[in-house]
Amino acid sequence: MTKILVQQGDHPDEATSVRILPDDVTLAVLPGESIVEAVRRNGLRTRYLCRRGGCGACKADLVDGAVAYTCAIAGTVLSDAEVTDGKCLPCRARPVGEATIRLSEKDCLRAVFGSIPTTGAHAGDNGEKK
Q: Does residue 57 fall inside a structural domain? A: yes
Q: Which residues contact 130 (CB under 8 A, 6 or more apart)?
A: 122
Q: Is position 31 within any domain?
A: yes
What is the per-residue burial (b if ≥16 Cβ within 10 Å, else e) of 14-42? eebbbbbbebbbbbebeeebbbbbbbbeb
Domain assignment present for 127: no
What is the per-residue pLDDT for 72?
A: 84
For 79-110, write each residue's pLDDT tens digit. Answer: 999 989 999 999 999 999 999 999 988 877 88
Q: How many domains does the chain have?
A: 1
Question: Is residue 31 within 8 Å of 108, Cβ to Cβ?
Answer: no
Residue 37's domain comprises: 2-111
- CATH number of 107's domain: 3.10.20.30
Task: Say what the pTM is.
Answer: 0.75
**Position 119 in a domain:** no
